[in-house]
């Protein structure tokens, strides 16, 4: 969603801000702008559209060595130049950029209007600029603190004032802000990727904190002026990880990185001597792990699908009752939190508002929540009671791919750990572990077949509607396949249990609606084949995704894709890859913007 970047230092600010915004593009946005101070004049340049539109609109030779930038994902007000950030006060003395939603902006706006302030945009954010102007008495930091005390809602804010050149002030409540500490320069951003080119030394700003920075100094306090000292942390990501490295799209790169990212998620966490796993970050004793009576996964989108796989896995492998629920639903239904329930909040970004608020609700009721996250230092891992980092490296494409298989990896490690504490023998544990270790090379085998999947994508790229059907642990993969296709190719797609089609979806079947069946070599294979035949009998087109050697599939289906065979419970690692590739190639065929699909944001930080 929206992105913030601020810069104070010796270099010209505008190119640094624009480059920073470019790095934030992946989060999803519809307009962008920067504000820089040069020769006592506050220059605001804002454009609806892409960063390149903003770049083209910048005056030649725009100087000034401090400023702020923003990418906007519209919530209040249309996608226009005016609604883009930064927003200035009426006199052009100060400007702000804001992520989040100000819930009481109507009341604040009315009050400011009666004092003579004129609003120029339809946004909730503009109220912050006028509010700070109203409270300003020569000290920006103090004015920001007074202003945020009046705000209700979520915000990450950065502000600058003409009378205080070289000073930026940031404030956070619910929308991430990270301070980047460079040599003689300082950055403030909503996401570390925006500053990686300049520094890897960061301080995470927490909710309720205000940071004042200059090129060589920074100070963090709460809104009551109490000083907060937090140590500088080093970002573990490299610049080259956020480049495309020869791939056409980030999504393609991230799909093809999966053998390595899965391996990384497992690294150092498997112990053949005891046939179990080590997950140091859980912060739970052996006894506490043994006492778990039920696991509940809370998440959104693709991460929720990883949770569905996990719940099936935990019940089958570890014989532990488990379930997954959409975080957005759980939060508002007064969930029952029982002693010995263990919750997992799963989130690639670690900032998804629905998941974060659901997690806080569970914790408020006394529940223990572990995070499974990718972005180190994000809010969910920081607020959780423990957890597992999946170490996928930055996931830049909006459509999640490698994070999904790494989230699975974390759950498989956890399931093995619990299973071995309950009734799984050493030898059964070891053979499961060995097969898990073989997953990266089997994923590579599937990736090596990408060209064949591309041909299938070409054949069906004109479809209006698609069904994805799976059963058992692969039911969740069918849901994920449908989500992937719809979000990047804009083809209407539904995921169903193959058994369910005769309870409704079979009415959709005609020659134009392809059905993709996941047919692993398990106890339900023959039943799925019957479902495929039902579709064929109604002239539906069938694509089968089967296991190497299952030659019967070609006699029934119009097209067939194969994955290597593996343990039935591990099959989602392999069956999801063709789904990702099929979606990617279909989107390419249809000329869609693969990495930044319309209307979508990478990290959904509002409810």
Near ligand F6R by CB under 6 A: residue from 400, 515, 575, 596: 400
Query: How far is CA 150 from each of CA 45, 105, 132, 181, 248, rounded to the nearest angstrom?
Result: 28, 10, 10, 29, 46
- Catalytic one among 109, 296, 484, 602? 602
Using DSSP bridges, classify how beta strands 209-214 and 217-222 pair: parallel, antiparallel or unpaired: antiparallel
Q: Which of 99, 348, 583, 586 binds ligand F6R (CB under 6 A)?
A: 348
Report the residue number, 144 or 308, with the smaller CB distance to ligand F6R: 308
Kindly state the smallest distance separating residue 331's Cβ from ligand F6R, in Å: 14
Single out the residue of 355, 379, 575, 580 in contact with ligand F6R (rule: CB under 6 A).
355
- Taking the C-alpha atoms of residue 36 and residue 65, their distance in angstroms, rounded to an integer, is 8
CA–CA gap between residue 300 and residue 303 (Å, rounded):
6
What is the rounded distance in angstroms from the CA atom of residue 500 to the CA atom of residue 506?
A: 9
For residues 177 and 503, give the distance between their C-alpha atoms in angstroms, rounded to a whole number. Answer: 48
Helix residue spans in 537-570 (DSSP H): 552-556
Question: Smaller CB distance to ligand F6R: residue 349 or 409?
Answer: 349
The residue among 65 and 303 lying less far from ligand F6R, judged by its C-beta, is 303
Binding to ligand F6R, residues 461-490 (CB under 6 A): 483, 487
Interface with ligand F6R (CB under 6 A), residue from 42, 140, 203, 399:
399
Nearest approach, Cβ of residue 412 and ligand F6R (Å): 18
- The continuous run of DSSP H or E covering 576 comes out as helix 571-589
Supply the minimum distance, in Å, between the C-beta of residue 43 and ligand F6R.
35
Q: Are strands 233-234 and 209-214 parallel, antiparallel or unpaired?
A: unpaired
String marking each residue 293-312 x if it binds ligand F6R according to CB under 6 A: -------xxxx---------
Short-list 128, 465, 419, CA closest to 295 = 419
CA distances from 327 to 130, 137, 301, 305 (A): 35, 43, 10, 12
Q: Tell me how far, at minimum, the Cβ of 150 lies from ligand F6R, in Å.
A: 30
CB 84 within 8 A of CB 46: yes
Q: Closest CB to ligand F6R among 372 and 574? A: 372
Nearer to ligand F6R, 302 or 571 (CB): 302
604 counts as binding ligand F6R under rule CB under 6 A: yes
Of 28 and 35, which has the nearer Cβ to ligand F6R?
Answer: 28
Q: How far apart are CA 115 and CA 364, in angstroms?
A: 41
Q: How many Å apart are CA 451 and CA 460, to the nearest integer?
A: 15
Interacting residue with ligand F6R among 65, 71, 276, 352 (CB under 6 A): 352
Show Cβ contacts of residue 525 under 8 Å, excluding neighbours closer than 6 positions.
519, 550
Are 4 and 99 spatial neighbours (Cβ–Cβ below 8 Å)?
A: yes
Residue 220 or 605: which CB sits closer to ligand F6R? 605
Task: Give the DSSP per-residue string, 311-334.
Answer: HHHHHHHH---EEEEEHHHHHTS-
Quick one: which of 31, 65, 258, 349 contacts ligand F6R (CB under 6 A)? Answer: 349
Q: How far is the CB of 392 from ligand F6R (least distance, A)?
A: 11
Output the smallest distance, CB 327 to ligand F6R, in A: 8
58 to 117, contacts with ligand F6R by CB under 6 A? none
Interface residues for ligand F6R in 485-514 (CB under 6 A)? 487
DSSP letter string over 233-291?
EE----GGGGS-TT-SSHHHHHHHTHHHHHHHHHTT-EETTTTEE--GGG---HHHHHH
The closest of 391, 424, 397, 435 to 410, measured between CA atoms, is 391
DSSP assignment of 129-191, as one string?
Answer: HHHHHHH-SS-HHHHHHHHHHH--B-EEEEEEETTSTT-EEEEEEBS-EEEEE-SS-EEEESS
Nearest to ligand F6R of 42, 604 (CB atom): 604
Query: Which residue from 190, 347, 409, 474 is in contact with ligand F6R, where contact means CB under 6 A?
Result: 347
- Cβ at position 357, least distance to ligand F6R in Å: 12
Q: Does the annotation count 602 as an active-site position?
A: yes
List the catalytic residue out of 2, 8, 95, 373: 2
| 359 forms part of the interface with ligand F6R (CB under 6 A) | no
User: Which position's Cβ is nearest ligand F6R?
Assistant: 301
Phi, psi of 127 (to 5 degrees): -60, -30
Residues 193-252 that bind ligand F6R (CB under 6 A): none
Q: Which CB sits closer to ligand F6R, 108 or 265? A: 265
Identified binder of ligand F6R from the candidate list 121, 125, 580, 603, rule CB under 6 A = 603
C-beta of 482: minimal distance to ligand F6R in Å? 11
Q: Is 2 a catalytic residue?
A: yes
**3-state helix vs strand vs coil in the chain, percent to 5:** 40, 25, 35
Size of the site for ligand F6R (CB under 6 A): 15
> Which residues are tagged catalytic?
2, 602
Binding site for ligand F6R (CB under 6 A): 300-303, 347-349, 352, 355, 399-400, 483, 487, 603-604
């Amino acid at each position: 969603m929206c992105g913030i970047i601020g810069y104070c230092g010796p270099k010209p600010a505008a190119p640094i801000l624009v480059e920073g915004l470019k790095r934030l593009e992946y989060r999803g946005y519809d307009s962008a702008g920067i504000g820089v101070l040069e020769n006592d004049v506050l220059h605001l340049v804002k454009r609806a559209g892409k960063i390149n539109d903003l770049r083209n609109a910048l005056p030649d030779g725009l100087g000034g060595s401090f400023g702020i930038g923003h990418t906007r994902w519209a919530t209040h007000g249309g996608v226009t130049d005016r609604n883009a950030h930064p927003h200035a006060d009426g006199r052009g003395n100060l400007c702000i950029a804001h992520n989040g939603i100000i819930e009481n902006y109507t009341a604040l706006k009315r009050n400011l209007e009666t004092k003579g302030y004129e609003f120029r945009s339809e946004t909730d954010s503009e109220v912050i600029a006028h509010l700070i102007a109203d409270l300003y008495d020569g000290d920006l930091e103090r004015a920001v603190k007074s202003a945020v005390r009046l705000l209700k809602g979520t915000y990450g804010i950065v502000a600058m004032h003409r009378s205080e050149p070289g000073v930026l002030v940031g404030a956070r409540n619910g929308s991430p802000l990270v301070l980047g500490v460079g040599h003689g320069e300082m950055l403030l951003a909503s996401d570390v990727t925006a500053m990686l080119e300049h520094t890897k030394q960061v301080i995470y700003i927490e909710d309720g904190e205000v940071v004042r920075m200059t090129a060589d100094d920074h100070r963090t306090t709460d809104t009551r002026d109490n000083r907060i000292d937090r140590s500088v942390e080093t970002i573990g990501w490299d610049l080259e990880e956020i480049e495309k490295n020869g791939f056409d799209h980030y999504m393609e790169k991230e799909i093809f990185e999966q053998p390595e990212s899965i391996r990384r998620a497992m690294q150092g966490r498997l112990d053949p001597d005891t046939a179990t796993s080590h997950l140091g970050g859980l912060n739970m004793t052996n006894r506490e792990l043994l006492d778990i009576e039920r696991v509940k996964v809370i998440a959104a989108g693709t991460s929720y699908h990883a949770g569905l796989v996990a719940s099936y896995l935990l019940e089958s492998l570890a014989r532990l009752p488990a379930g997954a629920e959409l975080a957005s639903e759980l939060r508002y239904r007064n969930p029952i939190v029982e002693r010995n329930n263990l919750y997992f909040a799963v989130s690639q970004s670690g900032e998804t508002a629905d998941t974060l608020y659901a997690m806080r609700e569970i914790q408020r009721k006394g529940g223990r929540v572990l995070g499974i996250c990718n972005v180190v230092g994000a809010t969910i891992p920081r607020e959780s009671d423990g957890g597992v980092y999946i170490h996928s490296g930055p996931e830049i494409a909006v459509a999640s791919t490698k994070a999904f298989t790494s989230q699975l990896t974390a759950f498989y490690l956890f399931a093995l750990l619990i299973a071995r504490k309950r009734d799984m023998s050493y030898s059964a544990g070891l053979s499961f572990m060995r097969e898990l270790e073989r997953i990266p090379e089997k994923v590579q085998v599937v990736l090596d077949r990408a060209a064949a999947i591309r041909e299938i994508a070409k054949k069906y790229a004109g479809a209006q509607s698609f069904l994805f059907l799976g059963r058992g642990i692969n039911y969740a993969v069918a849901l994920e396949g449908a989500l992937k296709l719809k979000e990047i190719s804009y083809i209407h797609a539904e995921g169903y249990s193959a058994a369910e089609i005769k309870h409704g979806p079979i009415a959709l079947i005609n020659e134009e609606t392809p059905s993709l069946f996941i047919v692993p070599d398990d106890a339900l294979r023959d039943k799925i084949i019957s479902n495929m035949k039902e579709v064929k009998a109604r002239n539906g087109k069938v694509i089968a995704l089967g296991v190497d050697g299952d030659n019967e599939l070609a006699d029934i289906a119009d097209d067939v894709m194969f994955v290597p065979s593996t343990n039935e419970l591990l099959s989602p690692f392999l069956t999801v890859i063709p789904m990702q590739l099929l979606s990617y190639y279909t989107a390419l065929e249809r000329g869609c913007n693969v990495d930044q699909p319309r209307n979508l944001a990478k990290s959904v930080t509002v409810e």
